[in-house]
């Protein structure tokens, strides 16, 4: 596990950065007729983007702009380079990471919209020192229809030489 006391958090009007993972809002529901939202993510080298998880409400489609995004879904690892699309339908277990030497940038189309606010709320739960409160993290995940598989995270970190934060 990571020492959360070293994870810097930055929040601006349209961007949230938690450690080496950044999220920028490009298109919100009010600009898409309520159909979807579009985010741009950045992920530092060697970083796991999220514990293995699944969404109860959202479908996600990732489009890689730069670097190589590694994605674990349905028990398989795939590598997606620039211009590759990765579909992550609701209900499917998945996670993603950057195993390469350069930052990864990718777009994330989320439908239906509403999930982007999760990143801002998550950043607010990370204290300046010490780990976040697991009860509050669990309540946040439940509000957004997220289910995490923390037991699968350790083996992924070890197998692929990754870190969190």
Of 155, 47, 165, 163, the residue nearest 96 (C-alpha):
47
148 cis-preceded (ω within 30 degrees of 0): no
pTM of the model: 0.89
| Confidence tier at 2 by pLDDT (50, 70, 90) | very low
User: CB–CB of 85/62 below 8 Å?
Assistant: yes
Instruction: In whole angstroms, give the CA distance from residue 40 to residue 145.
Output: 21
Domains of the chain: 4-156 (2.60.120.10)
Higher pLDDT, 12 or 129: 129
* pLDDT, tens only, 55-113: 999 999 999 999 999 999 988 999 999 999 999 999 999 999 999 999 999 999 999 99
In 15-149, the DSSP E strands lie at 15-18, 21-27, 37-43, 53-55, 59-66, 69-73, 76-80, 85-88, 94-97, 104-111, 146-148
Of 55, 66, 65, 134, the residue nearest 95 (C-alpha):
55
């Amino acid at each position: 596990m990571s020492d959360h006391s070293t994870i810097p958090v930055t929040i601006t009007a349209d961007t949230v950065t938690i450690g080496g993972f950044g999220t920028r809002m490009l298109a919100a529901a009010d600009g898409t007729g309520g159909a979807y939202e579009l985010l741009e993510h950045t992920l530092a080298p060697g970083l796991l983007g999220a514990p293995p998880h699944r969404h109860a409400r959202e479908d996600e489609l990732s489009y890689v702009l730069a670097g190589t995004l590694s994605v674990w879904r349905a028990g398989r690892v795939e590598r997606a380079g620039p211009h590759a699309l990765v579909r992550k339908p609701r209900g499917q277990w998945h996670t993603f990471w950057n195993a390469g030497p350069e930052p990864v940038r990718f777009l994330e189309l989320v439908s239906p919209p509403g999930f982007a606010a999760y990143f801002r709320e998550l950043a607010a739960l990370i204290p300046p020192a010490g780990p976040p409160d697991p009860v509050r993290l669990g309540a946040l995940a439940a509000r957004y229809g997220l289910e995490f598989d923390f037991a699968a995270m350790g083996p992924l970190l070890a197998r692929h030489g990754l870190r969190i934060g």
